[in-house]
């Protein structure tokens, strides 16, 4: 049985098919599931490793920046104590704010690296 529906010069055939959608689907084999899983892991593993290396690089840069901020803060603190020096309190305050933000970024990077390590360990388990 075929029924035609027309609207704006477009015709859609709604005739019924002899095979149903569920008949067309087959259960994937264990082998095909494992192959798909392995293919996905082949693609994801290098990305995880690259991200991990980038996180390590960023953390090293952040640690260097943190040390430099600490050094500048100490120098500015010495300048504050000298009575004839120009006003540097604002600079010290900005450096302290930067130090706090840098600490927050470092904590976030550590969390990201821990997550990447968990994903990599899941990959190694499978």
Render pLDDT for 45-78 as a digit per residue (tens, 0 to 9): 888 888 888 888 888 898 898 898 888 888 877 7
Determine the Cα–Cα distance for residues 51 and 49; give it in Å rounded to an integer. 5
pLDDT at residue 17 tops 60: no
pLDDT at residue 94 tops 60: yes
pLDDT band for position 12 (cuts 50, 70, 90) = very low
Q: Is this structure's pTM higher than 0.75?
A: no
Angle in degrees, CA 116, 122, 123, rounded to 5? 90
Element at 27 (helix H, strand E): none
pLDDT at residue 7 tops 60: no
pLDDT band for position 99 (cuts 50, 70, 90) = confident
């Amino acid at each position: 049985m075929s029924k035609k529906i027309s609207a704006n010069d477009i015709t859609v055939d709604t005739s019924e098919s002899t095979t149903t959608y569920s008949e067309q689907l087959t259960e994937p084999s264990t082998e095909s599931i494992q192959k798909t899983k392995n293919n996905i892991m082949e693609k994801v593993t290098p990305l995880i490793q690259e991200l991990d290396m980038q996180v390590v690089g960023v953390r090293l840069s952040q640690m260097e920046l943190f040390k430099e901020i600490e050094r500048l803060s100490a120098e500015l603190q010495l300048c504050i104590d000298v009575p004839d020096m120009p006003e540097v309190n604002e600079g010290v305050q900005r450096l302290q704010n930067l130090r706090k933000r840098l600490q927050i970024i470092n904590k976030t990077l550590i969390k990201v690296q821990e997550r990447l390590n968990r994903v990599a360990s899941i990959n190694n388990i499978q």
